[in-house]
Amino acid sequence: MRLLHTMLRVGNLEESLKFYCDVLGMKLLRRKDYPGGEFTLAFVGYGDESDNAVIELTYNWGVDKYELGNAYGHIALGVDDIYATCESIRNQGGKVTREPGPMKHGSTVIAFVEDPDGYKIELIQVGTQGSATKQESSEQLVKS
């Protein structure tokens, strides 16, 4: 088994595509209207679906807003330069909700942004994730 996609319901498909493709740099992989069901699916990602997990944006015709609830967490994206990425997102009109910096109780450098529907996206500085876990594992190996 492998992870194929995560589905998000969006209130404005064009606005969401602009955010995910133009601001976050994903590619629109495929898009299809389903007139009988009155919805459109658009799949976006950083690589082909055959090798990468992607995001399915579902637009239900005539529905422009959803209650996100409190169970949803976030999507995480690895980035090479978190500070430049946040600046670029901000310059393109994106909303940075947590500035880059180490996570609480760890050394992983993170930031958070929001898409047009309010979904949270965590940015993680590549190479810093899992630092605390690696250190704890190393310490346990030394003790053994």
* DSSP bridge partners of 102: 109
The active-site residue out of 14, 38, 122, 136 is 122
Catalytic-residue membership of 14: no
Distance of CA 117 to the CA centre of its chain: 12
Q: Identify whether the C-beta of residue 95 lies closer than 8 Å to the C-beta of residue 114.
A: yes
Which position has the token pair 């690895």?
78
| Residues whose CB falls within 8 Å of the CB of residue 39, separated by 6 or more in sequence, listed in order | 33, 58, 59, 60, 61
From residue 53, give the alpha-carbon distance in Å to each of 45, 61, 67, 71. 7, 25, 25, 21
The residues annotated as belonging to the active site are 122
